[in-house]
């Protein structure tokens, strides 16, 4: 084995173990409030990390738009506008997660290739999908709030949103 191939194989194994550890950590976190059957399906299809990163990304982009650019205006710095932006980020994640679940359900992926009697992945139903999407929307709202506490110090017009403290 050459040095290059050895380094590549080590890098691939480290990347795989890090992503596997992250999926397991997210699995344990979501296990607190997500339907266990749906969680197993999301874990098997490796969708926990992408959906979580999507929630973080949406919350960051919307908060950045509110505090930095392009919406950092005096006329758009009120608490109502801040709540609107939080709602936009939560609603965006709600729609994205719901569409993702319905698309996966439409693919009719068997749970077990050798035993088709076990049914398909993502066959939990509408109420479970709505519950998970609502959970992701709440998670995105919490992430938006946390990011807001960080980004508000960089804003000229919305320094006191969502609250007066902690600010410079």
7, part of any domain: no
What pLDDT, on a 0 to 100 scale, did the predictor assign at position 129? 94
Please give the radius of gyration of the chain, using alpha carbons only, rounded to the nearest integer.
20
Rounded-to-integer distance, Cα 26 and Cα 4, Å: 33
Rounded-to-integer distance, Cα 83 and Cα 163, Å: 12
Write out the DSSP string of 49-113: HHHHHHHHHHHHHHHHHHHTSSS--GGG-SHHHHHHHHHHHHHHHHHHHHHHHHHHHHTT-BS-S
Return all residues near 74 (Cβ < 8 A) that are at least 6 apart. 157
Q: Which two tokens stand for residue 87?
A: 């709602």
89, part of any domain: yes
Q: What confidence tens digit (pLDDT) does each residue in 52-102 have?
A: 999 999 999 998 888 777 766 666 677 888 889 899 999 999 999 999 999
11, part of any domain: no
78, part of any domain: yes
- The H or E element that residue 147 is part of is helix 126-151
What pLDDT, on a 0 to 100 scale, did the predictor assign at position 134? 95
Rounded-to-integer distance, Cα 30 and Cα 139, Å: 10
Q: Report helix, strand or coil for 120.
A: strand
Mean pLDDT of 110-120: 77
Mean pLDDT of 35-41: 90
What pLDDT, on a 0 to 100 scale, did the predictor assign at position 159? 63
Return all residues near 81 (Cβ < 8 A) that are at least 6 apart. 66, 71
On the question of pLDDT at 6 being above 60, the answer is: no
Rounded-to-integer distance, Cα 132 and Cα 134, Å: 5
Rounded-to-integer distance, Cα 93 and Cα 134, Å: 9
77, part of any domain: yes
Q: Which two tokens stand for residue 62?
A: 């919307």
What residue numbers bound the domain in which 148 lies? 21-154
At 5, the pLDDT band (50, 70, 90 cuts) reads low
What pLDDT, on a 0 to 100 scale, did the predictor assign at position 125? 85
On the question of pLDDT at 107 being above 60, the answer is: yes
What pLDDT, on a 0 to 100 scale, did the predictor assign at position 79? 80
160, part of any domain: no
Helices 48-67 and 126-151, interaxial angle, to 10°? 40
Structurally, the chain folds into a number of domains equal to: 1
Q: What confidence tens digit (pLDDT) does each residue in 123-165 have?
A: 888 999 999 999 999 999 999 999 988 887 777 666 666 765 5
What pLDDT, on a 0 to 100 scale, did the predictor assign at position 123? 85
């Amino acid at each position: 084995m050459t040095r290059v191939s050895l380094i590549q194989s080590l890098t691939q194994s480290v990347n795989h173990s890090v992503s596997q550890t992250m999926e397991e950590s997210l699995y344990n976190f979501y296990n607190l409030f997500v339907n266990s059957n749906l969680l197993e399906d999301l874990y098997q299809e490796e969708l926990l990390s992408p959906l979580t990163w999507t929630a973080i990304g949406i919350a960051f982009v919307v908060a950045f738009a509110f505090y930095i650019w392009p919406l950092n205006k005096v006329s758009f710095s009120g608490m109502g506008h801040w709540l609107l932006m939080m709602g936009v980020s939560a609603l965006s994640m709600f729609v994205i997660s719901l569409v993702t679940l319905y698309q996966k359900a439409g693919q009719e992926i068997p749970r077990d290739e050798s035993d088709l009697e076990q049914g398909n992945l993502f066959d939990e139903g509408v109420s479970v999908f709505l519950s998970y999407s609502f959970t992701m929307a709440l998670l995105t709202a919490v992430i938006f709030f946390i990011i807001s506490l960080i980004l508000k110090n960089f804003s000229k017009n919305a320094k006191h949103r969502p609250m007066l403290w902690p600010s410079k």
